[in-house]
Structure 1
Amino acid sequence: MEPGLTVSAVRSRRVLCSDGVRPALILIKDGKIQSILPDPDSALKGPAEVLDVGDKLVMPGIVDCHVHVNEPGRTSWEGYWTATRAAAAGGVTTIVDMPLNSIPPTTTVGNFREKIQSATGQCFVDTAFWGGVIPGNQLELRPMIQAGVAGFKCFMIHSGVDEFPHVSDSDLHSAMQQLQGTGSVLLFHAEKEIGEIPGEEETTDLRSYSTFLKSRPDLMELEAIRIITQLCMQYQVRCHIVHLSSAQPLEIIRAARQAGAPLTVETTHHYLSLSAERVPTGATLFKCCPPIRSMANQEQLWAALRAGDVDMVVSDHSPCTPDLKRLDVGDFTQAWGGISSLQLGLPLFWTSAANKGFTLPDVVRLLCKNPAQLCCLDNQKGSLLPGHDADLVIWDPDKEFEVKEANIHHKNTLTPYLGMTLKGEVYATVVRGRLVYKEGSFSPRPLGQHLLVCPGRSHASL
C-alpha cells in the first residue's frame, strides 16, 4: 500500500490495546476507528484496503504538544511542510505549535488567523496551536480561546526573541483573571532571573559547557515554580510547566498537586537522553534553555516519570539555521538555544526507557494520552478506541538504526543526535485513516488538518 491511500483496516499480530499487546484487526471508517477485532484474520465485507504489518507494533500516534514551527516569519528555521513531514516520519500524528518564534507571534486573534493561513495546505499531520501571553494582551485571551487555540504560553524570563516579551507578576495576575472559568490552560517557561549568580564572574571560557550551565542554575527554575504553584492555587486555573529540566522543584510540584493545584508537568527527550558531563567543549548544538543538566539529575527525572510526578515527554523541537548555533566559534553565550528532535522522539524515549523498566503502555501514557489530555484533544487523539481518530504509528520497538543526516526531514538537520544508535524504528504512520508515511516515503500531498480546540469541553484530569 502506497502513502496517500485511505486505509480500511490495519492487521497486526502486535496491537497495543488497553489490555496489552495482542493480535488484532483495526477497522477504520470515515477516518475513525470503527472497532478493534481480536481475530486479525476476520473476514471483511466488500472491497477493502488492508494494511497488513505482520509483527510490527501498532499503537496510537504520538501527540507532541511542544513544537516550534516558526512559520511565518522564520521559515528558514523550520516550516509547516518540513516540520510535519518530519513528524510523520517519527510516528507523530498531532503537533501543537508554539506561539513563538514565528513573526508575528500568536498573541492576538489577527495573528492567529495569519498563522492558520500560513499552515493551510502544508501539514502532513494534524496541527493545533498555542496562543501566547505577553504584557498588555490580556483582552485578546478570551477571543483567542473562542477562535480555537489550545491554551497559552508565557515566559518569566527573556524568551530569546524580542517580539515575544516576558511577563511581570501583574501581567500574570491579569491573565489568570481572564482565564478563570474558561477551562483553558497557561503554560510556563519556568525560569526566573535571580540577580547575581554565585561564581558566574569567575568563569571566562565561553566554549566550556560548564560556563553556560552555571549561568542557568536550578535555582532559576525553583523560584519560577514557587510563583507558578502559588498562582495555580490562588486562581484554580490549569497551569502547565513546560520542559522541566531540574529535579529540584519536584518537591514543590508534589506538594502543590496534593493541595489541589490543577498543575501538570512535562520534560523533554533531551533532558532524558543527554547529560552535561557528555557535552563536548564548543559543541553549541547541545545548547537549550533550561540547560541539559547532570546525569544524577537525569536519573531523578526518570524516577519522577515513573512516580507520575512528571506527566508527559515532548520534543520542544526548536530548530534554527546552522549559522545561529555558532559552531564556528563554539561560544555557548552567542549560540541559539534550541534542539531539533521532532522526528526522533519515539526512538529517543524508547532507547532509554526500555532499559529502565518502562513498558509500552508507559510510552502511550507519556507520549500520546497525557499530551492529548493537556490540549483537550483526548476525545479524539492519543488512544486506540472506537470513535477516536484512526491515528496510528506502526513501528518495530526492537530494531536499531543510526541517526543519519540523509534520513532527517527537519528543514535544518543539525542535531546532537547525529551518529547515535537508537532503538525503535518507525515503519508507517496513519493519520485519520490515511497513510501519510511508509518506509521513507510520504503521501504526495499534505493530509493533515487544523485542530481548533472547542472551549469549555470537559477535561479529564491527568
Structure 2
Amino acid sequence: MHDRIIRNVRLLEAQGWQEADLAIDQGRFSAIGKVSEAGKEVFDGEGSFCFPGGVDLHVHFNEPGRAHWEGFSTGSLAAAAGGCTMVAEMPLNSIPSTTSVEALDKKLASIGSKSSVDFSLWGGLVPGNLESIHPLADAGVIAFKAFMSPSGTDDFINSDIATLREGMKRIAPTGKFLALHAEDPAILNPSNQKLSQRKSAFDWEASRPVEAEISAIQIAIELAGETGCPIHIVHVSSAQALDPIIEAKNNGVDISCETCPHYLLLSIEDADRIGPDAKCAPPLRCRYSIDILWKSLENGEIDTIGSDHSPCPPEMKTGLSFYDAWGGISGLQHGLPLLWSQCSENPELLSHLVQLSSSRPAKRAKLGAKGSIEIGKDADFALVDSSMTPKEIRADNLAYKHRASAYCGMQTSFDIRQTWLRGDLIYENGKAICEPSGAFCRAVDNWRR
C-alpha cells in the first residue's frame, strides 16, 4: 500500500497530455501511470495538468538585513504560488552578503523554518574573499556568483579580471560553477555618462547596450578556458549575446546560460508604459529581440530559465524616474505560468520550456532529487487548472511582501491550484495550507577526496 496516491492527473509529453496516477512513498515518486494498488491517502487530481516543481536558481529574498524588501516567508510562498518547489537564493542584497562561512551561517539562522519550499544558497565571489571560496564550497553553497559590473549595492563589489581569474582557479576543483552577471563596465560607464541627464526607459536601455553583454561574456569565456572553471551566464537579454556562448560550447568550454521570463514576455516599449516596475539589468530589449530570443530557446540555445526575482520597497521605485529607480522585477509568482501560456497550443515547445525551468537547472546544479516527475525523485509538482480559462494578474493576488509586479494586468491561462513538496500539499487555491516545511539542500561534492 502506497503512502499517497494522486489519481486522475495529466502529464505533459512532447506529443501532448497523458492521463496518469502518481504514487508517493516516503516523499518520493514510487509509481507513475495507471496505479492499481491502494493508498493510505488518495487524492483526486480532477484532470489537472501536472507539472514538475520548478527549480529557480535565481531569486533574491535579501535575508538577513533587507528582509523588508522581500524575505523568505513571502518570497518562498510566492514560489509555491508560481509552481516552484526549489529555489536558490543569490548572495547579494542581504547584510552581510554571503561571501564567507560566517555570513552563510547568519543567513541560515535568519531563514530558520520560514521557507515554504526547499532552497539552496549561493556563495559570492568578490574582491578580498578568495580565501573563503573553499570553506564556502565545503559548507554546501550550490555554486558561486560574481558581478562583472557594479551590482547596485556597496555590500557586494563587482570583481575585476584578476579577482575573476584567481576565483575561477579556486572554484574549478570544487565541482561547482561560477555564475556571472555579464556586462562590461568599460562599455557601461561611457554610456551612462553620455546619457546621465536622461530619464526614460529608452535611455536606460541605451545606457546598457547588448554590446556590453557580449564583451563581458567573451571575457568570461576566455577566463573559463584558461582556468577550467565551469561558468553560467545569467539573465541573457538578447539572442545576440548567445552567439559567443554557442561558439564556446562548440569549442568544449563548460558554459551554460539562463534567460528570464521578462526577456521573453516584455519589451522596452512595455517598460516605458509600465514604468519602474519593469526596470532590470540588463534592460528589456525591443520586440524584435524578443522574437529572436524565442527562436533561440526553441533551437536549444538556452539552458535554463530563472526568474531573477528582485523586489524592493515601493519607495525605491514610486515617484522616481525610470533611470533613477531601483532595478529589479518581481516575477517569481507568475513568470512560469505566463511563459506556459505563450505556447499552450504547442506541447513540444511547452515540454521543452518546462525542462528549462525544472530538470535542466536541477542537473546543472547537481540537485539529483529535483526537477522531474520520475520514480525515485522527490514528489515535487504543481497541479494546474486544465480549463485554460484566462485569469488576470492583479496586485491583490500577489504573495510578495510588496504587491507590485511588471506582470500586473497580463493574463495567464495556467492557474496553479495546488503545489506539492516532497509528497505534501503545501499550497492550494491562493493560500499556504501548512506551516513552512522547506529544507536547506546543502550541496556537498566531496571534492577534497
TM-score normalized with structure 1 length: 0.92
| 2: CA distance, partners of 1:202 / 1:259 | 38
SS at match of 1:54: strand
Please tell me whether residue 201 in structure 1 is matched to residue 230 in structure 2. no
Structure 2 Cα separation of the partners of residues 251 and 121 of structure 1: 43
Decide whether aligned partners of structure 1 residues 178 and 200 sit closer, same or farther in structure 2, where only a CA change above 3 A counts.
closer
Say if 2:209 is the partner of 1:217: yes
State how far apart, in whole Å, the 2-side matches of 1:384 and 1:121 are: 26
Describe the shift of the 1:59–1:7 C-alpha distance in structure 2 as closer, same or farther (beyond 3 A).
farther
Residues 1:135 and 1:210: Cα distance change in structure 2 (over 3 Å):
same
Structure 2 counterparts to residues 60-209 of structure 1, below 5 A: 60-195=52-187, 197=190, 201=194, 204-206=197-199, 208-209=200-201
2:416 partner letter: V
Checking the alignment, whether the CA contact within 8 Å between 1:399 and 1:423 is kept in structure 2 is yes
Letter in 1 for 2:439: Q
Aligned residue number for residue 327 of structure 2: 337
Q: Quick one: distance in 2 between partners of 1:67 and 1:198?
A: 28
| SS of equivalent residue, structure 2 residue 107 | helix
The answer as to 2:355 corresponding to 1:365 is: yes
1:3 counterpart residue number: none
Letter in 2 for 1:229: I
**Counterpart residue type for residue 382 of structure 2:** V
* Residues 371-410 of structure 1: pairs in structure 2 closer than 5 A: 371-377=361-367, 379-396=368-385, 398-410=388-400
Match of 2:411 among 421, 445, 454: 421
Q: Following TM superposition, by how much is the alpha carbon of 1:333 offset from its aligned partner in structure 2, in angstroms?
A: 2.4
Secondary structure of the residue aligned to 2:374 is coil
Distance in structure 2 (CA, Å) of the matches to 1:268 and 1:446: 27
SS at match of 1:424: coil
Give, in whole Å, the separation in 2 of the partners of 1:49 and 1:12.
14
Kept after mapping to 1: 8 A contact 2:14/2:348: no
CA RMSD of aligned residues (A): 2.0
Q: Equivalent of 2:8, from 8, 12, 37?
A: 12
How far apart are the structure 2 equivalents of 1:63 and 1:162? 29
Name 1:240's counterpart in structure 2.
232
Identity %: 37
**CA gap 1:62/1:125 in 2 versus in 1, 3 angstroms:** same
Distance verdict in 2 for CA 1:203–1:320, change over 3 Å: closer
1:54: how far off? Answer: 1.7
- The amino acid that maps onto 2:437 is L
Aligned counterpart, 2:31: 35
Alpha-carbon distance in 1 for matches of 2:4, 2:141: 31
- Please state how far the C-alpha of 1:357 moved relative to its aligned partner: 7.1
Aligned residue for 2:18? 22
Match of 2:422 in 1: 432
Structure 2: segments with no counterpart, 5+ residues: none
- Say whether 1:44 aligns with 2:38: yes
CA offsets 1:245-279 (integer angstroms, 9 cap, x no match): 12222221111000000000000011100001233
Name the CA distance, whole Å, in 2 between partners of 1:20 and 1:191.
39
User: How far apart, in 1, do the equivalents of 2:112 and 2:94 lie?
Assistant: 15
Amino acid at match of 2:379: A
Which is worse superposed, 51-60 or 384-393?
51-60
Cα 1:235–1:90 shift into 2, 3 Å:
same
Cα displacement string for residues 139-179 of structure 1 (whole angstroms, at most 9, x for unaligned residues) = 11111111110000000111011010000100011101111
Tell me the amino acid that sits aligned with residue 452 of structure 1.
Answer: R
What letter matches 1:446 in structure 2?
P
CA contact (8 A) 1:7 1:434 kept: no
- Call closer, same or farther: CA 1:387–1:104 in 2, change over 3 Å: same
Amino acid at match of 2:119: T
- From 304, 310, 317, the equivalent of 1:318 is 310
Match of 2:265 in 1: 273
**Aligned equivalents of 1:294, 1:63: Cα separation in 2:** 28
**What does residue 292 of structure 1 align with?**
284
Spell out, residue by residue over 1:400-427, the C-alpha distance to the aligned partner (whole angstroms, 9 max, x if none): 2110111110111111111111121101
Which of the numbers 230, 247, 257 marks the counterpart of 1:255? 247
Q: Distance in 1 between matches of 2:21 and 2:344?
A: 26
Question: Whole-Å Cα distance in 2 between the matches of residues 242 and 18 of structure 1?
Answer: 27
Q: Is the 8 A contact 2:390 2:411 kept in 1?
A: yes
Residue 390 of structure 2 aligns with an amino acid whose one-letter code is: E
Q: Secondary structure at the match of 1:299?
A: helix
Q: Distance in 2 between matches of 1:205 and 1:184?
A: 41
